[in-house]
Amino acid sequence: MDTGESVRITLRSIRAHKLRSALTVVGVVIGIASVITFATFGASVEAEIVGDIETSNAGNIYVFGTPSGDDDFDRTLQPVFTEHDIQQLEGIAGVEAVLPRGIVQTQSVRHGNQTLARQQVTATRPASFTPGVLVEGRSFETDEEAVVVNERMAGSFSENLTAGERLTMTMPDGSERNVTVVGVVNGTRGEVPVSEFARQPRVYVPIDPFYESVVESPSAGVRQRAYPQVTLVVDPREIPETQSAIQTYLSGESDARSLSADDTELIARSGNDFVEEISDVIERITRFVTGIAVIALVVGAIGIANVMLVSVTERTREIGIMKAVGARNRDVMQVFLVEAALLGTIGSLLGVPLGLLVGYGATRYAEVTFSLAPLWMALAVGVGVLVGVVAGLYPAWRAARVDPIDALRHE
């Protein structure tokens, strides 16, 4: 029996049981759509985050300390990079700017009658704000009682903050400092890479007069400001060489090395390093969640197997007639395998556009750019067809084993 004849018999059987066939296909559609949805959403989130980082942090190298113990995260924020270290880093070939960052402790930030508790206030240099990141206003100047806020912070109040408005910061000792908002930004040159939709409300202040964390410099022998994290802006074409030189200094005679615990590693990472790590994490999460969605495909396969077994029982007499007129076991098996494969194929073809539609809706809700996952789409379709074939193997084998004499007696 040729394949065309098997397809005609299959289509006739499906048309004869439209509702049953449709319900069987639904299981595969849901499975394929789930896989496509999760894979597409994962690819979209990855593209959004990686795109943001590559665009805004291509020439940055981030310097910080990381403890070896999993329960020592607080030591990552210890101020160990002194002004002496800053000066030495500025002298490394390829370094265009050094941007130290420190945390200013506050109880709250108030605007008008609205108070926000425990807002992150970061001390940094004016060079952190380039014209490209300024949405409104300007950067602050050194020694200025002024702040710059990011867009998330500006939108945290009932009335959006704009340049020229006043804020009141309550310090840990209960004293208050009135400052002027001079600018609104969508990021800084010194930020550790993070996607726009993951950024937190943040206030930026000049190091002098707000940042007061000091330590005694082992090299200079005097007390100096010290910072928990430093960002170096370098020529993107010289990142490998500059990163190596920075790492060599940190591991050698730096103040940070002397001030850090023995099990703390001082690290210099480029934006590309963060991109690779973030991409790897997102891909793992996508594979895990998509793997869970494959369970729906297993349910669809069980549905196909169940329907095919019922079909074999209903068509026992038809199988007997086919064998009586010369059909071989493999011909009978082919008919049922084609039917199972066709149900899987139809489910796959319907599941792809449904998955893309739901995935698109998810990206709109999360406010990320929609991106396709071609490999996952092809894999999902292939698995859908395979599920149909595998689910139809046992029913097809059972149909081929039907005795023609007993089949002709079947009512």
Q: pLDDT, tens digit, for every residue of 174-215?
A: 899 999 999 999 877 656 655 454 468 899 999 988 998 999
Lowest mean pLDDT among 170-184, 211-225, 304-318: 304-318
Residue 130: φ, ψ to 5°:
-95, 165
Between 248 and 46, whose confidence is greater?
A: 248
Q: Which of 62-66, 356-360, 365-369, 407-411 shows the lowest per-residue confidence on average (mean pLDDT)?
A: 407-411
Residue 345 pLDDT exceeds 70:
yes
Mean pLDDT is lowest, of 170-179, 244-253, 313-322, for 313-322
Query: Does position 405 have pLDDT exceeding 90, yes or no?
Result: no
Residues 323 and 407: beta-carbon distance below 8 Å: yes
More confident residue, 31 or 399: 31
Q: How confident is the model at residue 55 (pLDDT cuts 50, 70, 90)?
A: low
Q: Whole-structure pTM over 0.75, yes or no? A: no
pLDDT at 308 over 90: no
Supply the pLDDT for residue 193: 53
> Which percentage of the chain shows pLDDT scores above 70?
91
pLDDT at residue 92 in the model: 92
> What count of other Cβ atoms lies within 10 Å of the Cβ of residue 152?
14
pLDDT tens for 16-39 read: 888 888 888 888 898 889 889 988
73 pLDDT more than 50: no
